[in-house]
Amino acid sequence: MKQYTKTIFSIILISLYLMMHSFCFAIEEDNKKDTPSKQSSGFFKIFKKKDKGNSNQKKDTNKKTKDKKIRVDEIKLPPIIQGKSKIPFNELSIMTIEDCVDYALSHNPNLYISNERIKAAKAGIGTARSNYAPRLTARVNYNHNNNNGTRITNSNDNSLGFNVGISETIWDFGRTTARINMAKYDTLSAQYDYDYDVLQVVYDVKINYYKVLSALANLDIYEQNVRINTLNYERTKAMFDEGLKSKIDVVNAEVNLTDSKIQLVEGRNNLETALIALQNSMFFQEDKPFIVQNTENFSFLKADYRKKIESITTVKPPCENFKKTQDGLIMLTSGIEHKDIIQNFEFKPLTLSKQEAVSQALELRPDLKSNEMLAKVQEESLRAIKKEYMPQIDGSLTWGYTKNESTYSSPLQLGASIGLGSINPYGIHYQIKEGESYLDIAYHNINVAKTDIFWEVQTNYVNMRQLERKIPLMNSKVKATLENFELADGRYSVGLNNYVELQDALANYNNSQLNFVEAVFNYNVARETLLKSMGVK
């Protein structure tokens, strides 16, 4: 008998395990068969309002919700963006702007935090789904009954028993389904928040990369200015020794040379600061530095990047092939390398209309998508609250065994029940009112986000186009100021103008180059700002 009891008990336990496993698998398969409805997103619908004033629309929506069969929506998460593998730094490496972005995406700890938020939200899906999972119970009991008395027979009764059971919710008329959908849309919202964090990381790295390129370009200009002022000082001193120039010209040349060296020191400091800012935005963890490379619209540098980053404490000596006048006087313009910053510069404007930019932003912006998912969470939350008035169907299977001194029993019970839990109609009524308010807030947040994106993209687009028109004009100005400086240099060397005119021409030439570099930098920043506002990584 004991062997028989053990066998039956083992069979029932195995059956219960198989039932639970197959049921959970069935839930998973049912989820895969469902597909979510796609949201229409058009440019002319961005100001479409969903508020309490439109009562007819809400009544139609509620009617459709009642007629529609409640189901668990399948939501496919977009892939999480991950950076490339760690770049080896065995020697001074060249890193493009894309390499720096990939490195930052692989090492930024804030992205790891955002990724863990996605995992936590995804675990909430399983928590909500577990309401449909079987619940197991097991109990062992022992009873001892000792009956002593004067007029009845004394007796002792001992019994030993155990029972196991399984119960589960068969259907709760959509409450659990709505909570599962809430968890899924909340997970999607967390994913889009992660994408927005990625967008910010990419933007920060690119801006700091352009700051390094700008600092390198300015350093070229400062070095060239030092060489020119060195030549000017040497030439003016030689002409003073010959009695051709006054002492004040020598003093002014020395002052200008000192000022140019001070500018060079500041330029080196700016480069080092820009490199530190770039590495900080990348969360750079290597011992050896790297060198940058030109981008498509920042390609006018002629600098030797390796030398500038390995050692930024020296200046190239003036060119030995000096340009001279017919009288044998050295020309200052011989200190200018005629392959200057604008010679090989190529400018490629962004071919995109304002309408296309706005449309792409409304389609791609992850923060807007996150708000849309939060609205869906509120929709499902309201649906779950309204289902609190519905009953719940449960099923149960129980088997037990009880043995006393004279008899034993082994009941097997299979049952199902339907009923209402403890409900509070008054409380549910106000929960529904609260849920409707939160849903309206979510809808209005979407409209506010669309409005902000609509104007933000247009503003960024106009700023970028303005700089596109400005760059060719500043390019022409650099060429004109260089020609003016060459003419002033020639006139000064033959005594047709004074030292002040020469220095003004040199200052205008240097300023036009610095302003041109700044305009190119501002354009690239404006372009990246536009792309970020469009949701383009």
pLDDT digits (tens, 9 = 90+) for 64-121: 444 444 565 665 655 555 545 455 555 557 889 999 999 999 999 999 999 999 999 9
Do the beta carbons of residue 8 and residue 163 sit within 8 Å? no
Question: Which residue blocks in 51-108 are alpha helix, DSSP H?
Answer: 55-67, 97-107
C-alpha 87/C-alpha 285 separation (Å) is 11
Residues 6+ apart with CB under 8 A from 336: 224, 228, 482
pLDDT of residue 68: 45
| Whether 374 contacts 184, CB under 8 Å | no
Quick one: which of 163, 134, 167, 132 has its CA closest to 416? Answer: 167
Question: Which tokens hold the place of 348?
Answer: 């490629």
pLDDT at 319 over 80: no
Q: What is the mean pLDDT of residues 39-64?
A: 42
Tell me the DSSP string of 132-146. GS-EEEEEEEEEEEE
Report d(CA 387, CA 432) in Å as an integer: 10
Contacting residues for 35 by C-beta, under 8 A, at least 6 apart = 73, 74
Give the pLDDT of residue 180.
93
In degrees to the nearest 10, what's the CA dihedral of 453, 458, 459, 462? 160
Identify the helix (H) or strand (E) that includes residue 155: strand 155-171
- Alpha-carbon distance of 298 to 517, in angstroms, equals 9
Which pLDDT value is given to residue 91?
Answer: 56
Which position has the token pair 């300023």?
Answer: 511
How far apart are the C-alpha atoms of 451 and 449, rounded to whole Å?
Answer: 5
Report helix, strand or coil for 396. Answer: strand
- pLDDT tens for each residue of 456-482: 999 999 999 999 999 889 888 988 998
Compare 433 and 289 and report the one with higher pLDDT. 433
Please give the Cα distance from 29 to 23 (Å, whole number). 10
15 in Cβ contact with 7 (< 8 Å): no
The torsion of the CA quartet 288, 294, 297, 301, rounded to 10 degrees, works out to 120
Report H helices in 35-96: 55-67
What is the overall mean pLDDT for the chain? 79
Which residues are CB-contacts of 130 (< 8 A; sequence separation ≥ 6)?
none
What pLDDT was estimated at residue 87?
54
pLDDT at site 277: 95
Closest CA to 373 of 192, 118, 121: 192
Contact 369, 194 (CB under 8 A): no
Pick from 446, 448, 471, 458: nearest CA to 529: 458
CA-to-CA distance for 104 and 117, rounded, in angstroms?
19
Contact between 535 and 364 (Cβ < 8 Å): yes
The stretch 202-226 carries a mean pLDDT of 92
* pLDDT of res. 518: 93
The more confidently predicted of residues 2 and 198 is 198
Comparing CA positions, the residue from 334, 303, 307, 331 lying closest to residue 318 is: 334
Write down the pTM of the prediction: 0.76
Q: What is the mean pLDDT of residues 35-61?
A: 42
Give the pLDDT confidence of 16-46 residue by residue, as tens digits: 554 554 444 444 444 444 433 434 334 334 4
Q: Is 137 exposed, middle or buried (0-12, 13-18, 19+ CB in 10 A)?
A: exposed
Q: How confident is the model at residue 301 (pLDDT cuts 50, 70, 90)?
A: low
- Counting Cβ atoms within 10 Å, is residue 399 exposed (0-12), middle (13-18) or buried (19+)? buried
Burial class (CB within 10 angstroms; exposed 0-12, middle 13-18, buried 19+) of 40: exposed
Q: Which of the four pLDDT bands, split at 50, 70 and 90, describes residue 372? A: very high
State the distance between the two ends of the chain, measured CA to CA, in whole angstroms.
73
pLDDT in tens, 241-286: 888 888 898 899 999 999 999 999 999 899 999 999 999 999 998 8
Instruction: Give residues with Cβ within 8 angstroms of 268, minimum separation 6.
Output: 219, 312, 313
Residue 294 CA to residue 214 CA, distance in Å, equals 10
What are the pLDDT digits (tens) for 499-529? Answer: 888 899 999 999 999 999 999 999 999 999 9
CA-nearest of 284, 234, 273, 227 to 83 is 284
Query: What pLDDT, in 10s, does the model give residues 383-423?
Result: 999 988 888 888 888 888 887 767 778 788 888 888 887 78
Identity of the residue numbered 253: A
pLDDT digits (tens, 9 = 90+) for 126-183: 999 988 888 888 888 877 766 665 555 555 667 788 888 888 888 888 889 999 999 9
Residue 127 token pair: 């928590």
